[in-house]
Amino acid sequence: MNYIESAKNPKVKQWKKLLTKKERDKTGKFLIEGFHLVEEALKEKNLVQQVILSQEVEVPLRFKLDGIEVIHAANDVLNAISDTETPQGIVAICGQKQVDINESNPARLLLIDAVQDPGNIGTMIRTADAAGMDAVILGEGCADLYNPKTIRSTQGSVFHLPILKRNLAETIDWLITRDIPVYGTALDGGVSFEETEKSEAFALLVGNEGQGVSKDLLSKATKNLYIPIYGKSESLNVGIAAGILMYHLRK
């Protein structure tokens, strides 16, 4: 049995580095933890490279581990590479997927401009998955997709649909050449979302928690929408707003 007892083991030190964006970018790998995320990742072909288990953990029979290296480790090892307060004793090392937007030919897209909170990014990916979106595009200034907090917030949806990092200005131009309307989100110069008809194909553009979508991108949009505020709140959370609009716009 492959067993690691010390958190000072070179393998453990390498895994721990994956908690940093620098190492994730360098290696093209990322770390996930918890039974639910690992199970969802295992459903994707050639994604999981290693599974690390604590002494007390037994893997459910439904987990497909054929061809995957399974490493048992002391609790100190799992605690050293965990990013959660209450580790479940199961971690997986995964490879980052490379996605070509032209090959996936998406009709419904969520475009995210400079949203910096990992929880908001993860929530929007999860909601896009639930709303049947075809792809999510992360623009400049967004929180890292492979940040452990982002991954946890997706609740596994990160494995269900294509997610790309791309220049949003170029993406909007590309969508418009394909006759896919792009709906920005802005109070100034926008119309109430309720005035917009549902459609089979569309892109929704949402922006930074404080500044909103950049003006340059809004100027490229087919139409800009806003959600009326009926109470005393100044604004909606970007993840909530994105969810309302995705469900409204899709036919």
Nearest CA among 192, 193, 215 for reference residue 202: 193
Q: Which residues contact 161 (CB under 8 A, 6 or more apart)?
A: 125, 128, 129, 133, 134, 135, 136
State how far the Cα of 2 lies from the Cα of 51, in Å rounded to an integer: 11
Tokens 């953990």 sit on residue: 57
pLDDT value for 99: 86
Average pLDDT over residues 85-113: 92
- pLDDT band with cut points at 50, 70 and 90 for residue 42: very high
Residue-wise DSSP of the chain? --EE--TTSHHHHHHHHTTSHHHHHHHTEEEEESHHHHHHHHTSTTTEEEEEEETT----TTS--TT-EEEEE-HHHHHHH--SSS--SEEEEEEPPP--HHHH--SEEEEEES---HHHHHHHHHHHHHTT-SEEEE-TTPPPTTSHHHHHHHTTGGGTS-EEE--HHHHHHHHHHTT--EEEE-STT-EEGGGSPPBSSEEEEEEBTTTBS-HHHHHHSSEEEE----SS-S---HHHHHHHHHHHHB-
Please determine, for residue 41, whether its predicted confidence score (pLDDT) is greater than 90: yes
Q: How far apart are the first and last CA of the chain?
A: 53
What's the whole-model pTM score? 0.95
- pLDDT band with cut points at 50, 70 and 90 for residue 193: very high
Single-letter amino acid code for the residue at 30: F
- pLDDT band with cut points at 50, 70 and 90 for residue 4: very high
State how far the Cα of 225 lies from the Cα of 237, in Å rounded to an integer: 15
Nearest CA among 160, 162, 141 for reference residue 207: 141
Question: 101-249 maps to which CATH number?
Answer: 3.40.1280.10
Please determine, for residue 55, whether its predicted confidence score (pLDDT) is greater than 90: no
pLDDT value for 166: 96
Whether 198 and 249 have beta carbons less than 8 Å apart is answered as yes
Nearest CA among 115, 109, 125 for reference residue 174: 109
pLDDT value for 1: 59
pLDDT value for 70: 95
Percent of the chain topping pLDDT 70: 100
Per-residue pLDDT tens over the stretch 104-122 = 789 999 999 999 999 999 9
Average pLDDT over residues 221-226: 97
Per-residue pLDDT tens over the stretch 144-177 = 999 999 999 999 999 999 999 999 999 999 999 9
Per-residue pLDDT tens over the stretch 179-189 = 999 999 998 88
Question: 3-95 maps to which CATH number?
Answer: 3.30.1330.30
Tokens 């494995």 sit on residue: 159
Give me the residue spans of the domains in the chain.
Answer: 3-95, 101-249
